[in-house]
Structures are given as structure tokens and as C-alpha cells.
Amino acid sequence: MRSIARPGVRRAMAGIATAALLVGGVAACGGGDGGDPAEGDGGDDTAASPEGVDDGTTLTLWTRAPLEAQANLLVEAYNATHENQVELTITPNDDYVARVGAAAGSSDLPDLFAADIVYVPNWTEQGLFSDITDRISSLPFADDINQGHVEAGTYEDSQYVLPFVLDLSVMFYNKDLYREAGLDPEQGPTTLQEFKEHALAIQALEKPGVYGSFFGGNCGGCGVFTWFPMVWASGEEVMNEDGTESYLASDAAQEVYAVWRELNEADALYPGAAEETGATWTAGFQEGNVGVMPYPATLLATASETVDVGVSGIPGVDGGVATFIGGDGIGISKDSEATDQAWNFLAWLMSEEAQVEVLAQNGDVVARTDLVDNEYSQADPRVVTVNEVAGDPNSRTPFARNFQQAFNATDSPWLTLFRNAIFGDGGSVEEDNEAITEVLSQ
């Protein structure tokens, strides 16, 4: 490993240089192609209105399956009110990176595509998106757009990405089970210990098929999404600011592993936690068979169809709340030949019409801080809770260039760390944490 560190650095530098060249090169090509004359780099931003162009162009949009519901609602609403028509393509989560990568290599990217926000820094650096800095600043509410997402899509002072759908992790609990277990159905856990006690209390009901809690034990992304907030809420960080060093052996992190380890040892987890790769990690709760677990807020509407859902923030060791501000960022691709039309969709996406009348009405979190208090969110106290957590200073969108390799990949060192900590002997956290740092710092 030591011997390849050097070429790695060299490669990274070359990558940055090439990416920079690529961005410049693509912008230059746009004008030289002889296509739309308004497409050149400079003329583009000055000529276009803040709303972009709505002239009946067909736009292509790619996203991944977990956000299918929101993407469908947004595209339907846009197509119904605009001349431009968006064609939506949904790809299974696990195949999305491969698909985008293949398209990027052959310059076949769609006009618009969304990306898991944790991949956005890398993809932006690789030059997959067009620069929309000036367009974003032309929006009157530019400063109110979720900064976590915008910053993830900022590279060398240029902005490339806007929030598509925010996905936050919050604690979901089954109110019916809480009542049966004699817990307060209006109050979710406020500390990690309480979370454990609540889960054990529901387990103690000994109802057949009903378990205290659940987590995706073979799913790095699930761990990131649901456990990082527990560390943040405890006032600690998971990585350094540059995303090159892992702090996942901290006291708070160890406390998180200990709680889950105890739940596992007490058989208070829905079956299959150890082998859950993420495809079905939300299913148990939705069936009403899990008492309390960290869950994606985007599934509030879906889960509420079958379960009386209570929502609270993900707690830290001694209280506090935090959430993982995840979801997808969206940008105009480097290959789009209809950037003004694509911007029309993005500008609409940021509008009150889309944020409130489409997303908030569906029970989703809005991506603009000035719209957090709207008629729909006020009607449902659970959405108010989600919005409050999103606004908590402890909530984050983590940033790291090698995020996928370090955390989400099926062979990631993070997966090794928490599997050892929960299912193994639990003694290798320090060592495994160094393995994460090694990948992050490549």
C-alpha cells in the first residue's frame, strides 16, 4: 500500500487538472459546435433570462430509484404546466453510478441528472455538470437554497448543483406499538439510551414477528445515513473538514456501536440485520413489525399508509438532534445541448410552486429555508419536526472526495468497521478507522 501512495497523489493531481481542462473544454465546445448560438459560455449566462427558455424542447432527466415518488410528482407537475417536456428515466440505486459513468465516457449524459449528494463533490470535480453559478445567483432567493447541497456541488468557487430532493434521516416509531408497550406515543427517544430502552421495551412485548429496531447491517450507505447523525447530535464530527481523515473511533461513535451491539445481542433486531444489503432495510417498519428505527423522511407518506408513524430527531448520546441532509442534487450535464431549457426546469424546481405545491404537499422537506413554514408543513406536526431537525446546526451533508469508496461501496472499510463493532469482537474500531482514513486520503 505504501508504494502506491505516490502514484495515487500524482493521479489525483492529474485528475484535478484534467477535470479543470474538461470543464473549460466542454464550455468552449458548446459555442464551437454550431448548435444553439446562445450556448457559448459567456453569451449563455448574459442572454438567458432567470427563468431560462420554455419552447417545447424535450429534456431528458435521470435519477435513481429511491427518489422515484418525488421525481415522478415533480416531472408530472412540470410537464403539465410547461411547453418543455421532461422525460424521466429511473435507474436502480446500485446501477446508477455505472450508468452515469458509461454515459459520461461516451458523452451521452442526459440534459439533467441527479446524483446522490455524497457523490456530488467527486462528480463535480470530474466535470460532469455545467457551471450554473451565474444562473443560480440570478435567483432572488439564491441565499435561501439549502446550502449543504449547494456547497457539495461547488468546485473552485463555481456552482454546479441545486438540491433535487432532500432526504433526511429521522427517527420513526410505531405509535401503536408504543402504546402497547406503555411508552408515550407522542414522544420519541431523546437520547441514545432512551432509543435503546424503547426498542427493548417493544421487544419485551414478545409479540410474534414484532421486534424493537432494525438497521442495514451489510449496507454502508444505510450506516452513513442513520448513524452519522447520532455522532453529530453528540457534538462530534465523523471526518475532518476536508473529508480526508476519519473520526469514527471517537467516544460518541463507540457509544453508537455499543447501543446497536446491545440491541443485536438482546435479539431485539428484526431478522436479517446482519445480511441486509440495503434493498429492503425499510420494509420491516413499513409492515408494522419494527418499533423504532432511524428512517428516511422521504418515506413518511408511504409508511403512513400502513403504520401510525411518530417522528422525532435522531438523538445523540446525551440528547441533541441531528440529521443527515442527504438526497439528490441535480445539475445540467456537460453534454446537454439545451442548457437554457434545462435551466428552465431547475428554476421552476426551486420555485415556490414546485417546493410547496408539489414537495411539501407530499409531506416532503422543502429545499428553501424561506419556505419551511408553509400551509402543508404546518398541518402535519411530524413535518414540522423534520424541518426543525433539518435546521439544527448539528445537521450536515458530509463532504469527501472518496466518499463512495470509503463508505458506500460494498467492500468499503466503513462497512468492515461497523460490522466488526456490532457483530464481531468489537475490538478493532481504531484499526478499522485508520483503514477509512487511508481510503479518504488517497
Partner 1 sequence: MANTTHTTIPTVPEVARRRAGRGGGARRPVTGPSGRARRVPRSLQGWLYAAPTAVMVLIFFVVPILLVVQMSVSDWSLFAGNRGLNAPDNFVDASQHRLLWPAVTFTLKYTVITTLILLGVALGLALVVQESTRWKNGLRTAILVPSALGLASASLLFYALYSPQSSPINPALAALGVVDRPVSFLGTPDSALWSTVFLIVWRFAGFYMLLLMVGLQGISGDVYEAARIDGANRRQIFARITLPLLRPSIALCTILCVTGSLLAFDQFFILTKGGPDNSTVTIVQLVYNMAFAGQNHLGLAAALSVMVLVALLALNALQFRGLRGRED
Residue ranges in contact with partner 1 by CB under 8 A: 1, 3-4, 7, 11, 14-15, 18-19, 22, 97-98, 100-102, 104-105, 122-123, 126-128, 218, 270-272, 274-275, 277, 280, 283-284, 402, 404-406, 408-412, 415-416, 419
Of 127 and 163, CB closest to partner 1: 127
**Taking the complex as a whole, how short is the minimal distance between the CB of residue 293 and partner 1, in angstroms?**
14
**Taking the complex as a whole, how short is the minimal distance between the CB of residue 233 and partner 1, in angstroms?**
28
Of 18 and 49, CB closest to partner 1: 18
Q: Tell which residue, 381, 346, 378, has the closest CA to residue 139.
A: 346
**Taking the complex as a whole, how short is the minimal distance between the CB of residue 223 and partner 1, in angstroms?**
13
Helices 429-440 and 251-265: crossing angle in degrees, nearest 10, is: 120
Instruction: Report the alpha-carbon distance of residue 322 to residue 248 in Å, rounded.
Output: 16
What's at 178, amino acid-wise? Y
Of 387 and 437, CB closest to partner 1: 437
Q: Which three cell numbers stand for residue 333?
A: 450535464
CA dihedral (282, 354, 115, 143) positive or negative: negative
**Taking the complex as a whole, how short is the minimal distance between the CB of residue 163 and partner 1, in angstroms?**
21
∠ CA 247-252-258, nearest 5°, is 110
Q: Which three cell numbers stand for residue 25?
A: 473544454
Max distance between CA atoms of the chain, in angstroms, equals 71
Instruction: Report the alpha-carbon distance of residue 95 to residue 5 in Å, rounded.
Output: 29
Number of Cβ within 10 Å of residue 291's Cβ equals 30
Cβ-based neighbours of 239, under 8 Å, separated by 6 or more: 245, 246, 247, 398, 399, 400, 440
Of 101 and 381, CB closest to partner 1: 101
**Taking the complex as a whole, how short is the minimal distance between the CB of residue 30 and partner 1, in angstroms?**
18
**Taking the complex as a whole, how short is the minimal distance between the CB of residue 115 and partner 1, in angstroms?**
11
Of 102 and 379, CB closest to partner 1: 102
**Taking the complex as a whole, how short is the minimal distance between the CB of residue 69 and partner 1, in angstroms?**
21
Of 213 and 395, CB closest to partner 1: 213
Instruction: Report the alpha-carbon distance of residue 24 to residue 18 in Å, rounded.
Output: 10
Instruction: Report the alpha-carbon distance of residue 383 to residue 202 in Å, rounded.
Output: 25
**Taking the complex as a whole, how short is the minimal distance between the CB of residue 181 and partner 1, in angstroms?**
22
User: To which residue does cell 454515459 refer?
Assistant: 103
Of 22 and 301, CB closest to partner 1: 22
Of 159 and 333, CB closest to partner 1: 333
Could you give the 3-state DSSP secondary structure of residue 35?
A: coil
Is 95 buried (19+), middle (13-18) or exposed (0-12) by CB count in 10 A? exposed
Of 77 and 293, CB closest to partner 1: 293
Helices 192-203 and 251-265: crossing angle in degrees, nearest 10, is: 0
CA 137 to chain centre: 24
**Taking the complex as a whole, how short is the minimal distance between the CB of residue 396 and partner 1, in angstroms?**
22
